[in-house]
Structure 1
Amino acid sequence: MIKTITINEFFLLPIGTPLADVRTPAEFAHGHIPGAFNLPLFSNEERVVVGTTYKQVGREEAILLGFDLTGPKWSGFIKQALEVAPDKKIAVHCWRGGMRSGAMAWALDLYGFEVYLIQGGYKNFRRWALDQFQQQANVVVLGGRTGSGKTRILQELALLGEQVIDLEDLAQHQGSSYGTMNKMIQPTQEQFENNLAFQLKDVDGTKRLWLEDESRNIGRLTIPTPVFNQMSQAMLIDIHVDLEQRVRALTLEYGLLDKEFLTTCTSRIHKRLGPVQTKQAIAAINEGNMEEFIRIVLVYYDKTYHKDLGKRNAENVFSMNITSAEIAENANQILIFIKNISAKTLA
């Protein structure tokens, strides 16, 4: 049985319902619905040939060519689908909900699958994703200088039941010149947006949504404008952590990274860091003096944070001192702090 559903109806299906994206591997890699698996009807090259035939010769010839190309593949498609959906319940989509997903749905239905065919395909999902960025949320931004432990505090807040979206995790980048940590690979801009939209759909607008203070760009990715605008206008909790505590934390986090990686990243910001400071920082790296390296680059990052903080509406910035090295204690203190702010605002 084939049932055509909207993207919103797909989200109402039982959790774990397999979603087959029958577009090419290249299309899938550029951007896909989170959780989908690739079951490509055509290879990247085959799609080009079929598309060219459609434009230059005609629709019927392109369909015949498509059957010629996929003929030997159908049993393989069904076997792959069975591996992912042994109970024979599966959702399917292509780019626009056209011939590719229609053909795959027909074959799976013929074999006995219960098929949910997503109307409008990935194109409709992208419209839905962009719409998520327009939704207003009760955003609270956690700010603080580099090394303040913001990410770990947000993780603890999530454990305490707060709504949290970790933008740096979604972007696979920690937001500085050294942000890839020499191991993380960033998704495409489109996939970053898809992943963010997928998390935003579950946000309860009546409750706080915690985000970390970020620049517009996280590595080579850009926070969608509507989301960034909300972050810029939101309440910001600016945590103050002792310099020595920050140096220790950053030394533990970055001190074991490859020296060549650290040197390359430091050279990348030489114009902003300054020629003397860049030379000193690289010398400290080569000498294995990681604390000194951290102290030098923190001067630049602290100045940048202070400058960005100055662009915010001062009425929305609330500063608090963090003295404990215990993340759980700090998270609880922040919740008490924001509760007091809310009480004063209502008074």
Structure 2
Amino acid sequence: MYRSISLQEWIVQSASLPLIDVRTPAEFTQGHIPGAQNVPIFSNEERVQVGTTYKQIGREPAILLGFELVGPKWAELIRQCLLLAPGKRIAVHCWRGGMRSGALAWALNFYGFEVYQVQGGYKAYRRWTLQQLQRSFNLRILGGKTGSGKTEWLHQLKAAGRQVIDLEAIAQHQGSSYGTMNRMVQPSQEHFENLLAWRLKDIDPAQPLWLEDESRRIGKREIPKDLWEQIRSAPMLDLQLPLETRVARLAAEYGVLDKDFLVECTERIGRRLGPEQTRDAVRAIREDRMPDFIRIVLFYYDKTYRKGLSMRDAQKVTALDAEALDSDSLLQSLLAFP
């Protein structure tokens, strides 16, 4: 069987209906529907050849070239789809639900698959993404200076059944100059939005949604405008911990990272730290004095945090002395935040 379905119809059954994205690896890397698997009809170079032929000669010569390029691949394409969908029930899409996905859908149907072609393809998902990012949510923001353990407490809230989205996890960045932790690779801006929209689709707007207090930019990725404005105007719980508690936490977390990576990141913010502070921070890194390094850079990050806090409505910010509470009491305070 072979028929078309809407994007929304696929989303409803996404957990049980494997999705194949037939676009090129480059297109897929730039942005794709979360959960989709890439089985490209054309390589990056082949797509350029077909596109050039279409523009310079015409549609029919481009189609013939496409068949010439894909012809030897059909068996391998079907094998890949069998690995991804051994039950032989599968959905496919390309950029606009057109010729590329239609060709693979035809071949899979001929082989005996139950095939569903997603109408509008990836372009339809991008429209859907932008709609999700414009929705209004009942936000609660968890704030606190660097080293306050905000991410860990977000995970505790999620474990307790609250709606939580970890923006840093989606952006693959912890929000500072050191935010990649020398291991994470950020998605494109386009795919960051795709992933965020996928998470937002399951959020009940009538119930609180917890997010961490973030700058507009998380590494090189930018929080979409509508959501950012909601974050800045939402009620915030400000976790407060002594400097030395935060220093100890951060020294343990960052002290295991490569020293050259830490030096490079420190020099990147050297203009903001100042020449003497940058020199002292680099020396502390090289001499394995992690607490001293952390204290120096926290002076800058704490100043940045205070500036951001001053731009919020003070009546919507509630301070919470996290040092005075044990873990259970702190969690209960978070759960009780109105």
TM-score (norm 1): 0.95
Q: Does 1:99 align with 2:126?
A: no
Partner SS state of residue 239, structure 2? strand
Which is worse superposed, 87-96 or 236-245? 236-245
Partner SS state of residue 323, structure 1? helix
Partner SS state of residue 54, structure 1? helix
Q: Identify the residue that residue 202 of structure 1 maps to in structure 2.
A: 202
Give the count of matched residue pairs.
338
Letter paired with 2:223: I
Which is worse superposed, 28-37 or 325-334? 325-334
Cα deviation, 1:296-338, whole Å, max 9, x if unaligned, reads 11111111000000111112111111016865542222223x1
Partner SS state of residue 211, structure 2? strand
Q: Identify the residue that residue 65 of structure 1 maps to in structure 2.
A: 65
**1:282 deviation in Å?**
1.1
Distance in 1 between residues matched to 2:49 and 2:328, nearest whole Å: 57
Partner SS state of residue 197, structure 2? helix
Partner SS state of residue 142, structure 1? strand
Distance in 1 between residues matched to 2:266 and 2:328, nearest whole Å: 32
Letter paired with 2:247: V
Distance in 1 between residues matched to 2:14 and 2:153, nearest whole Å: 32
Distance in 1 between residues matched to 2:71 and 2:320, nearest whole Å: 66
Q: Identify the residue that residue 345 of structure 1 maps to in structure 2.
A: none
Q: Identify the residue that residue 114 of structure 1 maps to in structure 2.
A: 114
Q: Identify the residue that residue 88 of structure 2 maps to in structure 1.
A: 88
Q: Identify the residue that residue 242 of structure 2 maps to in structure 1.
A: 242
Letter paired with 1:228: W
Letter paired with 1:213: D
Q: Does 1:48 align with 2:48?
A: yes
CA separation of 1:206 and 1:319: change in aligned 2, threshold 3 A: same
1:54–1:61: 8 Å Cα contact kept in structure 2?
yes
Distance in 2 between residues matched to 1:263 and 1:325, nearest whole Å: 35
Map 1:1-347 to 2 at 5 A.
Answer: 1-13=1-13, 15-323=15-323, 327=327, 329-336=329-336, 338=337, 342=338
Distance in 2 between residues matched to 1:327 and 1:10, nearest whole Å: 42
1:282–1:293: 8 Å Cα contact kept in structure 2?
yes
Distance in 1 between residues matched to 2:324 and 2:87, nearest whole Å: 51
Distance in 1 between residues matched to 2:32 and 2:329, nearest whole Å: 39
**1:286 deviation in Å?**
1.3
Cα deviation, 1:206-230, whole Å, max 9, x if unaligned, reads 1110000000001111111111111
Distance in 1 between residues matched to 2:66 and 2:324, nearest whole Å: 64
Distance in 1 between residues matched to 2:288 and 2:282, nearest whole Å: 10
Cα deviation, 1:168-211, whole Å, max 9, x if unaligned, reads 00011100011011111111111111100000000011111000
User: Identity rate of aligned residues, in percent?
Assistant: 58
Distance in 1 between residues matched to 2:142 and 2:119, nearest whole Å: 39
Distance in 2 between residues matched to 1:10 and 1:262, nearest whole Å: 44
**1:278 deviation in Å?**
1.1
Give structure 1 stretches of 5+ with no counterpart. 343-347
CA RMSD of aligned residues (A): 1.2
1:153–1:330: 8 Å Cα contact kept in structure 2?
no
TM-score (norm 2): 0.98
1:153–1:328: 8 Å Cα contact kept in structure 2?
no
Letter paired with 2:268: R
1:156–1:328: 8 Å Cα contact kept in structure 2?
no
Letter paired with 2:167: L
Q: Which runs of 4+ in 1 moved over 4 A?
A: 324-329
Give structure 2 stretches of 5+ with no counterpart. none
